[in-house]
């Protein structure tokens, strides 16, 4: 007996752990790892400098943007993740001067910088060769490979080999590009190979930034064409970026491609809007010095307003803090928008459950009629839905569904009842942190039937519903010191559902508890929700840097429930009740929310997974208030879903029902 008891306890623990794991295996992005060059480096050389002989600590190597945060640090802050450079055990492997496949030689600029390939190799060596599916991996590299000093050797010397400075002059530049285009495409292939390596190791989310080449002898060259000095690099970058996008599609990679080019053009065109008064690369926050170069790197005198007024931190083209923040906001938008849009399908699932609950509450009342005449009824309800993700950076959701239902039914026999109803549901749902809101208007048509045995012990209800939904959404997207309002209007969706519930009522005809009605309850509910795709509209006088087009959504929920309920007819007018159930969803609790940027039609689409728990607990606690003739009743209830991933859905409902 003792052994059997231990085995039962052990089996329970195993099952419990399995349920927890099944609930938490799919999650939104909660972790970050960065690879790349100086565009993502937040202090690699501040902590370690690699020489040909030894690893030597050096506290001087730091980029000139240090008056503020790198975009890597800023995006980490938004999600509550500290971004620390790898030499001191952190999650940022990016090193200034890094190239994709070639380690920088010791001595001089970029002394000993690891290549992107080596950075990823080093990371995987610490994880047993496995990538984390909840991690965003940023691959921000290629600029240094496209410098004039390197690009001429992509073919003749093997891609990535330094062979000296490319000859200047327009004719020579054009020839250099023509002669080395194949090498540039091979270089893009090297970057995608690294992305594939992470994918094959288990990564789901990879970020690649559009490579931009700037020049010191003109205002940001991406606006005016290629400059004189870096014409080869700029033209090469255009080929490189195009090939990267082509390879993302052909390799079927889920890459979040950040369109830095459109962002940069937008900032320069609307610099004053973002408080930036200095856009020239020669007029930078560090007095025009290339301050990260040298061994050790030089230090600059930071100008007043370096964190807010300047586009560039130095003459090399590194962004100053204001632009770094805008890049971070752009990435945040790409990560958080799919989660927001997923709610257009998730909320109707919740409101439909409430509508089904209204009908289930009505059926016992309709059974109380003694004749087989038509019974007309109406119910009004106000609820509050609250979904808390419990994750920094992921906006919680708060909503107030208001529902009005009218219906009629009739007793078909003493044991059977049938009816139809129409529900009108208006929901205003807000995103936390002032990130926007959406409104849903649904008209749902339902047909239902109910059964109860002659002794009231056995009961069963079946409800089928179809709803037409119209959505209006508004997202408040922050870019630097601005807030852009992006909207979607008249987005159509539908919800088709089938629900069954039944149970058994125990009654005690003697003793103190003779009035209590209690028993097990069982249920099954299927919902299929479809949301049309749409393209965001810009509601501002100035276009937003990033607008998104969202693809069609499909959600299928298949919930099976088992629980227990208790009713206590305290009097003819007051009846407290309680219900508890364990629920399992056999449907698509993990969905891919797919979207693409509208700034460039050539940018590949990407997806981010939205998830619900498969296993959760539901509870209701409330009271029925009714007149003695059973024609009017009210219901106040607190309904809660407790999910194992710490998501909690709270619902306080107030219903008022009149039978005619």
H runs (alpha helix) in 70-169: 71-78, 116-126, 148-151
What pLDDT is recorded for position 553?
A: 96
pLDDT tens profile 65-124: 556 789 999 999 999 999 988 878 889 999 888 889 887 766 545 556 889 999 999 999
pLDDT grade for 164, boundaries at 50, 70 and 90: very low
Residue 503, pLDDT > 50, answer yes
pLDDT at 95: 87
Asked if residue 477 lies in contact with residue 263, where contact means CB atoms within 8 angstroms, the answer is no
Q: What is the mean pLDDT of residues 594-599?
A: 91
% of the chain residues with pLDDT over 90: 41
Per-chain mean pLDDT for the chain: 80
Segment 319-371, tens digit of pLDDT: 889 999 999 999 999 999 998 999 999 999 988 988 898 888 888 878 877 77
Q: What confidence score (pLDDT) does residue 89 get?
A: 84
Question: Which pTM was predicted?
Answer: 0.85
Top mean pLDDT of 97-101, 239-243, 294-298 is at 239-243
More confident residue, 167 or 515: 515
Residue whose tokens read 């056995």: 458
Question: Which of 207-216, 391-400, 459-468 shows the lowest mean pLDDT across its residues?
Answer: 207-216
Q: What is the pLDDT of residues 470-490, one digit of tens each?
A: 999 999 999 999 999 999 999
Per-residue pLDDT at 297 exceeds 50: no
pLDDT above 80 for 657: no
Per-residue pLDDT, averaged over 154-178, amounts to 45
Q: How far apart are CA 429 and CA 342, in angstroms?
A: 13
pLDDT at position 127 is 95
- Report the b/e string of 189-210 with b at 16+ CB within 10 A: bbbbebbbbbbebebbbbbbbb
The burial of 538, by beta-carbon neighbours within 10 Å (0-12 exposed, 13-18 middle, 19 or more buried), is given as middle
What tens digit of pLDDT does each residue of 425-476 get? 999 999 988 899 999 999 999 999 999 998 889 999 999 999 999 999 999 9
SS3 165: coil
C-beta separation of 641 from 587 below 8 A: no
Kindly state the tokens that stand for 202: 């288990």
Of the ranges 172-176, 303-307, 517-521, the best mean pLDDT one: 517-521
Q: Which two tokens stand for residue 512?
A: 């103190």
- Lowest-confidence pick of 49-63, 260-274, 436-450, 596-610: 49-63
Question: How do residues 242-290 score in pLDDT, each as one tens digit?
Answer: 999 999 999 999 999 998 888 888 888 888 999 999 888 778 887 654 5
Residue 52 banded pLDDT, cuts 50, 70, 90: very low
Candidates 319, 337, 316; CA nearest to 393 is 337
pLDDT reported for residue 168: 36
pLDDT reading at 57 higher than 70: no
Q: What are the pLDDT digits (tens) for 614-649? A: 888 888 888 877 776 666 666 777 777 776 554 555
Q: What is the pLDDT of residue 608?
A: 94
Residue 292 is predicted with a pLDDT of 46
Nearest in space to 35 (alpha carbons), one of 151, 207, 192: 207
């Amino acid at each position: 007996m003792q052994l059997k008891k231990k085995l039962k306890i052990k089996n329970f623990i195993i099952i419990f752990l399995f349920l927890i794991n099944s609930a938490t295996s799919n999650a939104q992005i909660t972790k970050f790892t960065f690879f790349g060059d100086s565009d993502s480096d937040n202090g690699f050389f501040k902590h370690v400098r690699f020489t040909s002989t030894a690893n030597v600590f050096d506290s001087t190597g730091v980029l000139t943007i240090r008056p503020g945060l790198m975009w890597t640090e800023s995006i980490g802050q938004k999600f509550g993740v500290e971004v620390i450079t790898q030499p001191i055990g952190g999650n940022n492997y990016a090193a200034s001067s890094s190239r994709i496949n070639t380690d920088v030689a010791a001595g001089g600029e970029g002394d000993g910088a690891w290549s992107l390939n080596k950075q990823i190799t080093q990371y995987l060596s610490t994880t047993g060769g496995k990538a984390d599916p909840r991690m965003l991996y940023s691959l921000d590299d290629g600029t240094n490979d496209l410098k004039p000093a390197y690009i001429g050797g992509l073919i003749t010397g093997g891609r990535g080999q330094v062979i000296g400075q490319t000859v200047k002059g327009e004719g020579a530049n054009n020839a250099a590009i023509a002669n080395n285009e194949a090498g540039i495409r091979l270089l893009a292939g090297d970057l995608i190979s690294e992305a594939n390596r992470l994918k094959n190791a288990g990564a789901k989310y990879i970020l690649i930034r559009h490579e931009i080449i700037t020049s010191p002898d003109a205002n940001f060259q991406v606006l005016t064409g290629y400059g004189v000095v870096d014409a080869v690099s700029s033209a090469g970058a255009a080929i490189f970026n195009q090939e990267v996008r082509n390879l993302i599609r052909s390799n079927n990679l889920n890459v979040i491609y950040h369109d830095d080019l459109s962002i940069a053009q937008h900032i320069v065109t609307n610099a004053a809007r973002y408080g930036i008064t200095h856009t020239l690369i020669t007029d930078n926050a560090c007095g025009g010095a290339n301050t990260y170069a040298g061994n050790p790197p030089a230090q600059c005198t930071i100008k007043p307003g370096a964190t807010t007024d300047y586009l560039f931190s130095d003459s090399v083209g590194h962004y100053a803090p204001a632009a770094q923040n805008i890049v971070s906001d752009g990435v945040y938008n790409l990560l958080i928008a799919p989660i927001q849009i997923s709610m257009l399908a998730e909320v109707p699932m919740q409101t439909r459950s409430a509508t089904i609950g209204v009908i289930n509450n009505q059926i016992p009342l309709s059974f109380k009629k003694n004749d087989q005449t038509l019974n007309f009824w109406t119910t009004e309800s106000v609820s509050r839905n609250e979904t808390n993700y419990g994750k920094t950076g992921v906006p919680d959701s708060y909503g107030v569904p208001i529902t009005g239902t009218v219906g009629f039914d009739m007793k078909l026999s003493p044991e059977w009842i049938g009816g139809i109803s129409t529900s009108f549901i208006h929901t205003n749902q807000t995103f936390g942190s002032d990130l926007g809101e959406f409104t849903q208007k649904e008209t749902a048509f339902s047909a239902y039937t109910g059964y109860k045995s002659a002794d009231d012990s056995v009961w069963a209800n079946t409800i089928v519903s179809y709803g037409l939904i119209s959505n209006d959404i508004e997202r408040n997207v922050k870019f630097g010191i601005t807030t852009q309002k992006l909207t979607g209007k008249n987005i159509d969706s539908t919800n088709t559902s089938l629900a069954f519930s039944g149970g058994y009522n125990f009654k005690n005809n003697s003793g103190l508890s003779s009035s209590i009605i209690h028993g097990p309850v069982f249920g099954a509910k299927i919902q299929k929700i479809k949301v049309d795709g749409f393209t965001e509209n810009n509601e501002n006088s100035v276009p937003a840097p990033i607008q998104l087009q969202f693809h069609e959504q499909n959600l299928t929920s298949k919930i099976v429930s088992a629980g227990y309920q208790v009713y206590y007819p305290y009097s003819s007018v007051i009846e407290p009740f309680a219900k508890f159930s364990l629920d399992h969803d056999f449907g698509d609790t993990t969905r891919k929310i797919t979207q693409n940027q509208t700034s460039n039609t050539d940018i590949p689409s990407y997806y981010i997974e939205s998830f619900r728990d498969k296993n959760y607990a539901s509870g209701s606690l409330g009271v029925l208030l009714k007149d003695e003739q059973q024609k009017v009743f009210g219901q106040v209830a607190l309904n809660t879903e407790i999910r194992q991933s710490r998501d909690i859905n709270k619902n306080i409902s107030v219903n008022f029902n009149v039978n005619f």
